[in-house]
Structure 1
Amino acid sequence: MGVDALGYVALALAAVLIGFSKTAIGGAATVSIVLFASVLPTRESTGVMLVLLMVGDATAVWTYRRHGDWALIRRLMLPVLVGVVVGAVFLGFAPVALLKPVIGGIVVAMSLLQAWRMWLAGRDARRLREATGSREPAAPVAQPSGARSALASALGSAGFGWLAGFTTMVANAGGPVMTLYLLRRDLEVTRFVGTLAWFFAAVNLTKLPFSIGLGLVRPQRLLLCLALVPAVLLGAVLGRWLISRISKDVFEKVVLVVAGLSGAWLMVS
């Protein structure tokens, strides 16, 4: 398979995290990027990881096939496709050595922004409960409506979509970006994971021809990919077990922390 025993153990752990990220905590797969790049040459690691991500996609889509938010996915696909094409062109002409720190910095900044938004929302809810004398959780504050709100939503979707497409094409690092975007949508846990599953199943399938054309996916690594598939499936089972036992509030906090740490890891890896 072209790797020694210790290298295979590291790749198997990374593969477990890939499966786990597909059925539970999306940002966990960012750790796999570092593990793969530490064992395999950078370009080959991207290709092998893409194949395993697609295995995880298939498992996640089957598991959450009824829980995708298709309106949201359709809104993102055009900017994502633009990001994938730009990323493919970038890979054809530019080195990727400096890209991971940039991607990591963006993810960390967005994680901090989302944490700030969540803290403000919690503070406002506490103040409302104190003002009304109610012990029940306060109802969500209505979001502004009208042309300005629609434009802001469209621009936000386009920005996150483009960035997700670009980062996933260049470094398989679109997970934290999409995780942060979906946190802003306030989805129920299974709908959150199901939307992420369907989204990346479509995106990774779109990436495959580009990756083959760029020589990232190579038949010489097929045996290694097959040997790592059981680890992906194990991670997917573990993720599915966990997701049914975690509350929405805890889930959102864990996802946010994992996304932030993943971004920081990209910055220093």
Structure 2
Amino acid sequence: MWEDIILFMAVGFAAQLIDGALGMAYGVSATSVMLGFGVPPATASASVHAAEVFTTGLSGLSHWRFGNVDFRLLRRLAIPGMIGGAVGAFLLSNLPGEVVRPLVSAYLLLMGLLILWKAFRKAPIRTEPPKWVGPLGLFGGFLDAIGGGGWGPMVTSSLLGQGMAPRYVIGSVNLAEFFVTATITSTFIFTIGLDLWPIIVGLVIGGGIAAPFAALVTARVPDKPLMILVGVLISLLSIRGVLQAFS
């Protein structure tokens, strides 16, 4: 048990440091690792989201304290995201694991490629209100529940692609993710319950330690090298998962 806690403390720390600094990749990073260990997709998503209730809360609070949150954008993302997340968690809970695993791995591969695409793409900063925020939140919440992650890569990348200021996108998306994650976790509790407590505890402790540091370095760490590293890692883990599913 203690070996699992220590291992996933390291996973949670690294994943939350990336997520807090870039506004993405906690869920897809942690879920990719768990699928690699043979954890069923629904259990992996439930465990990651249970841990994220704590880590996203700390991360969102840290971003709020550092002035990185646009509350109008937060409201437009959080409510539809909660609805989409509940629907996605319910569907995942009622699908066979052997059917879902290759689909989730393929989805995570797309998320890894999306992160790489965003790393090499530049968009001009603009001040107009972003478009399609509600549908984006709804779709992002649904995919986040189904794939065990993806809220950040989908929502953050889309908003940054529209030219919004990275500081407020990352802070607002992180805080909105807390509400989405809490809804997804509640849905999993009422459908399949929560197992693998050592993993959840490890993810919570590691992520909780990393959250304040991640918010502090958001404006200081170069995004591109980190995004490339994360995109490559997630893509390789996902390709491995797809190959294992069909072997």
TM-score between the two structures when normalised by the length of structure 1: 0.69
Conserved? CA contact 2:84–2:141, under 8 Å: yes
Query: How do 1:226-265 and structure 2 match up within 5 A?
Result: 226-246=201-221, 250-251=222-223, 253-254=224-225, 256-257=227-228, 260-261=231-232, 264=235, 265=237
1:192 positional shift:
2.7
Query: In the alignment, which of 160, 166, 173 is matched to residue 136 of structure 2?
Result: 160
Alignment of 1:170-181 (within 5 A): 170-174=146-150, 175-181=152-158
TM-score using structure 2 length: 0.75
Q: CA deviation at 1:198?
A: 1.1
Letter in 2 for 1:164: G
Alignment of 1:1-269 (within 5 A): 1=1, 5=3, 7-29=4-26, 30-39=28-37, 41-42=39-40, 43-65=42-64, 66-95=67-96, 96-107=100-111, 110-111=114-115, 114=118, 118=122, 153-154=131-132, 157-174=133-150, 175-218=152-195, 221=197, 225-246=200-221, 250-251=222-223, 253-254=224-225, 256-257=227-228, 260-261=231-232, 264=235, 265-269=237-241
Q: RMSD of aligned C-alpha atoms? A: 3.4
Q: CA deviation at 1:176?
A: 1.4
Stretches of structure 2 lacking an aligned partner (at least 5 in a row): 242-247
Q: 1:37 to 1:258 in 2, by over 3 A?
A: same
- The amino acid of 2:102's aligned partner reads L
User: How much does 1:187 deviate?
Assistant: 3.7
Question: Percent identity at matched positions?
Answer: 18
Higher Cα Rg: structure 1 or 2?
Answer: 1
> Using the alignment, how far apart are the partners of 1:153 and 1:258 within structure 2?
30
Q: Which runs of 5+ in 1 are unaligned?
A: 122-139
Alignment length, in residue pairs?
A: 232
2:20, 2:32 → 1: CA distance? 20
**Cα gap change, 1:9 to 1:238, in 2 (>3 Å):** same
